[in-house]
Amino acid sequence: MAQVTLHDIRKSFGATEVLHGISLDIASGEFVGLLGASGCGKTTLLRIVAGLESVSAGTVAIAGRDVTQEPPERRDIAMMFQSYALLPHLSVFENVRFPLRMRRIGTREAQRERVAAALDTVQLGRLADRRPRQLSGGQQQRVALARAIVSDPKVLLLDEPLSNLDARLREEMQVELIELHRRLRLTTLFVTHDQEEALSLCDRIILINAGHIEQAGTPSEIYARPATEFASSFLGSANVVAATIEEVEGRPVALLGDGQRLALAASERTRGRAKLVLRQEDLVLQPAGAEGLRATVATRVYLGARIRYVVDCAGTRLRVLAGNDRLCQRGDAVRLAIRPEAVVVIPG
């Protein structure tokens, strides 16, 4: 049985419909990410699961029970907000205990045991007596996480919980969330606009575009085989190139706008007009005399361990990620090579 079932969820604000019939099953113990740009509807969908927004149509079920009309406190969920929403006048211990008190879960002694266990889980037991203002941003985030898990909810809802952290803390908390989920196996629905977070944390990604599910799949599936042009450009910021697919000597070949040809995998069955998805990291920058597509370096961006080149090729600009062992200059003639199997073809 799915732990969370959304069926034909629609939501309108006035005359504007922002969710257009979303259906989704989330299995028990699964970590699912709602990924999309700002304004796509992912947070609205999360708030509908939480009971903080009503639906215009459709149903929400948790553990097989229809909760569409139930208030948040009767859904057995916990939600961690972007702002953490800690109570400044309460200690860390009392902040974590707060949902147990409000829902009258357990005796006072049982509550103390639960809070202590939750704080130990996030490695903050030693800070139980401090106030939120005495904590760093990362520590406040952990307190909010402990408060979310203390009641052992059926579903944990995370609304961009890492967005207020700096880059180093964000990386550390990504690892901690992965390890926490591995230990507790809480069914988790996670909202983010950050593709790296979604790829690193989630068992499955639901890519949302303008209130629709654009594509759903495991991180590796959705990254390696995007189904639409939007999915390919949003995940990994891939290059998308218009082409015509032909067969030459029994092999599929992509004909680019300037007449250059690119070999495709022998299994490719698309013919006619199509879009090619070329991942930045799959393109190999080579000297002008080598095999590959002709291109000219337009811009070089130093990224530390790697360099991003922007090159002019076949009438369009492509981004290429390369090592920093050999530097190309603006205006250099180069060649671009890519394995036929690495080219994703989107028909039409």
The model's confidence at residue 296, banded by pLDDT at 50, 70 and 90, is: very high
* Contact in structure between 257 and 315 (CB atoms under 8 Å): yes
Would you state the pLDDT for residue 1? 61
Question: Which strands sit side by side in the sheet containing 31-35, from one edge to the other?
Answer: 77-80, 155-159, 187-192, 31-35, 204-209, 212-217
Catalogue the long-range contacts made by 314-319 (C-beta closer than 8 Å, 24 or more residues apart): 314/241, 314/256, 314/257, 314/258, 314/260, 315/256, 315/257, 315/258, 316/239, 316/241, 316/257, 318/239, 318/241, 318/278, 318/283, 319/237, 319/239, 319/280
Would you state the pLDDT for residue 134? 94
pLDDT above 80 (res 146) = yes
* Contact in structure between 244 and 223 (CB atoms under 8 Å): no
Structure tokens at 24: 């989704």
d(CA 62, CA 153): 11
Structure tokens at 84: 């953490």
Q: Could you tell me what percent of the chain has a pLDDT over 90?
A: 76
d(CA 181, CA 88): 28
pLDDT digits (tens, 9 = 90+) for 87-116: 999 999 999 999 999 888 999 999 999 999
For tokens 């999360």, name the residue: 46
d(CA 244, CA 229): 16
Q: At what angle do helices 167-184 and 108-121 cross, to 10 degrees?
A: 130
Please list the residues that pair with 16 across neighbouring strands: 13
Which residues contact residue 268 at a Cβ distance below 8 angstroms, ignoring those fewer than 6 apart? Answer: 245, 252, 345
**C-alpha angle 118/119/123, rounded to 5°?**
120
Tell me the average pLDDT across 292-310.
Answer: 95
d(CA 124, CA 116): 9
pLDDT digits (tens, 9 = 90+) for 117-145: 999 988 899 999 999 999 988 889 889 99
* Contact in structure between 114 and 89 (CB atoms under 8 Å): no
Would you state the pLDDT for residue 235? 85
Specify the range with the lowest mean pLDDT, choosing from 16-25, 79-88, 128-137, 335-344. 79-88
Which residues contact residue 164 at a Cβ distance below 8 angstroms, ignoring those fewer than 6 apart? Answer: 82, 83, 84, 137, 141
* Contact in structure between 260 and 246 (CB atoms under 8 Å): no
pLDDT above 90 (res 47) = yes
Q: What is the mean pLDDT of the chain?
A: 93
Residue 79, SS3 per DSSP = strand
d(CA 199, CA 216): 12
**What separation in angstroms does the CA of 267 have from each of 151, 226, 250?**
51, 17, 11
Cα Rg of the chain (Å, integer): 24
pTM given for the model = 0.88
The DSSP secondary-structure symbol of 292 reads S
Would you state the pLDDT for residue 210? 95
Which residues contact residue 348 at a Cβ distance below 8 angstroms, ignoring those fewer than 6 apart? Answer: 273, 274, 275
Give the Cβ contact number of residue 152 at 10 Å: 14
Query: At 284, phi and psi to the nearest 5?
Result: -110, 120
Residue 314, amino acid = A
Instruction: Report the C-alpha dihedral over residues 151, 28, 144, 71, rounded to 10 degrees.
Output: -70
Specify the range with the lowest mean pLDDT, choosing from 167-176, 227-236, 271-280. 167-176
Would you state the pLDDT for residue 336? 97
Would you state the pLDDT for residue 59? 98
Going along the chain from its start, the domains and CATH numbers come out as 2-221 (3.40.50.300), 237-347 (2.40.50.140)
Structure tokens at 16: 């504007």
Instruction: Report the C-alpha dihedral over residues 128, 131, 132, 136, rounded to 10 degrees.
Output: -70
Would you state the pLDDT for residue 103? 87
* Contact in structure between 281 and 309 (CB atoms under 8 Å): no
